[in-house]
Amino acid sequence: MPTIFLTGGSGYIGTHTCLTLLNAGFNVIVLDSNINSKKRALKKVLEIYKLSSFNFKNQLFFVEGDIRNENLINEIFEKAKNKKMPINAVLHLAGLKSVRESINNPLEYWDVNVGGSIKLFRCMIKHNCHTIVFSSSATIYGIQEIEDSIKEDGSINPINPYGENKVTIEKILKNIFDGSKENWRIANLRYFNPIGAHSSGLIGEEPRGIPNNIFPYICEVGSGRIDKLQIFGRDWPTRDGTCIRDYIHVMDLAEAHKSALDYLNKKDSEFINLNIGTGIGTSVLELVKTFIKVNECNLNYEFAERREGDSYHLVANNELALQTLNWKPQKNLEDMCRDGWQWQKFNKEFLENTSSINLQKLI
Ligand SMILES: NC(=O)c1ccc[n+]([C@@H]2O[C@H](COP(=O)([O-])OP(=O)(O)OC[C@H]3O[C@@H](n4cnc5c(N)ncnc54)[C@H](O)[C@@H]3O)[C@@H](O)[C@H]2O)c1
């Protein structure tokens, strides 16, 4: 059974990806500092997973720590080897992800996102692990002036430090690929807008403080914790005047990671950038209306001025991912809205109860 080192595995996308990997039979070692996640999140993953596996506790190991701690990462590789479960591949999700914070605190973002990645890559080289799937982002495309969907070879023009971090990490990986004597297998997954949650309602996005992204913000407004949603701009050149994005269900995104691993495993050597979206554009107003309809709830919203730095149209051309990964998004916007709201309701009602499940420690 292959072993995957999943950095940032306690976070929003990490927990859903972890569950998908466990279901596919992988051993998973998670490293997370929990700076933007709760320790209970992985326990909830196991609660879901135990329904389908007797052996549910023995596949997942958790290490609490920082991606910038090179000694710790080396120790993880060594311990995994000693336990006869050497790490076959890395899924690198750990990092800071707020665009606003990255503008206010760029050094921290460069240090964690780029500095942390360099340390991780150095450890991979040291331990002969040459397969990695990296969490990149559609943010790297910057402001688009076109209404076509974006291809991977479209112009790369990040407009904030967070986007610059992602481009830089992609470039470092390309340098490693080009310069190494070893055969590397590298996939940069450029996520568009992941929303929703696992249908159990036990795991989902849990932002600290005021959410940065629209979907958790909508959920907070729906549950009354935030008064009103502001929609920035109603005079964009789109069908209803609001910005268009490509929303993808987080479980479809999780599945894309597994498919990327399967794809890389069949290759001797590969470097590939892949847009991970549905290819379907949804306006902010359509998202809001769908949320209200499927969840039969009220949502206060108002229109505000356009926000500087927003693209009005950001939709993935996902053909390359569809062709290469043997993967296809299965869930639609209604599923995303329903599952995301389910999580929001369950989260607050039940999750404060601590779980009886203990996570296995590797170190
Ligand atoms: N959610 C999105 O809309 C989106 C879009 C594109 C790309 N991404 C990228 O996907 C990845 C996962 O995003 P997410 O939405 O799950 O975010 P998240 O914040 O929920 O998950 C990231 C995890 O990394 C951990 N982490 C942060 N700094 C760390 C450090 N120094 N050491 C160890 N762990 C650390 C956090 O505690 C968190 O659990 C990130 O790299 C993010 O930039 C996210």
Residue whose pair of structure tokens reads 């693209």 in the numeric block: 311
Q: How many CA atoms within 13 Å lie on the side-chain side of 345?
A: 12
Residue 253's closest CA among 282, 278, 273?
278
Tell me the residue type at 116. G
Selecting among 12, 109, 141, 162, the annotated active-site residue is: 162
For residue 35 and ligand 1, the question of a CB distance below 6 A is answered with yes
For residue 116 and ligand 1, the question of a CB distance below 6 A is answered with yes
Residue 79 has which token pair? 């311990």
How many angstroms is it from 101 CA to the middle of ligand 1? 13
For residue 194 and ligand 1, the question of a CB distance below 6 A is answered with yes
Of ligand 1's listed atoms, the one at least distance from the Cα of 191 is 6
Q: Exposure of 361 by Cβ count < 10 A (0-12 exposed, 13-18 middle, 19+ buried)? A: exposed
Provide the whole-model pTM. 0.97
CATH number of 3-361, picked from 3.10.450.50, 3.40.1160.10, 3.40.50.720, 3.90.1150.10: 3.40.50.720
Cα-based distances in Å from 24 to 19, 261, 359: 9, 11, 19
How many angstroms is it from 281 CA to the middle of ligand 1? 24
* Whether residue 162 lies in the annotated active site: yes
Pocket test for ligand 1, best of 5, 6, 12 (most atoms within 8 A of CB): 12
Residue 337's closest CA among 248, 213, 259?
248
In whole angstroms, what is the distance from residue 23 CA to residue 218 CA? 30
How many angstroms is it from 147 CA to the middle of ligand 1? 29
pLDDT per residue as tens, the chain (363 positions): 899 999 999 999 999 999 999 999 999 999 999 999 998 999 999 999 998 877 777 899 999 999 999 999 999 999 999 999 999 999 999 999 999 999 999 999 999 999 999 999 999 999 999 999 999 999 999 987 777 899 999 999 999 999 999 999 999 999 999 999 999 999 999 999 999 999 999 999 987 788 889 999 999 999 898 999 999 999 999 999 999 999 999 999 999 999 999 999 999 999 999 999 999 999 999 999 999 999 999 999 999 999 888 889 999 999 999 999 999 999 999 999 999 999 998 776 666 656 778 889 998
Classify residue 22 by its DSSP letter: H
Residues 165-220 have pLDDT tens digits of: 999 999 999 999 999 999 999 999 999 999 999 999 999 998 778 888 999 999 99
For residue 96 and ligand 1, the question of a CB distance below 6 A is answered with yes
DSSP β-ladder status, 244-245 and 282-283 = antiparallel
For residue 32 and ligand 1, the question of a CB distance below 6 A is answered with yes
Domains of the chain, residue spans:
3-361
Residues linked to residue 7 through DSSP beta bridges, in sequence order:
31, 92
How many angstroms is it from 236 CA to the middle of ligand 1? 30
Residue 193's closest CA among 209, 208, 213, 207?
213
For residue 163 and ligand 1, the question of a CB distance below 6 A is answered with no
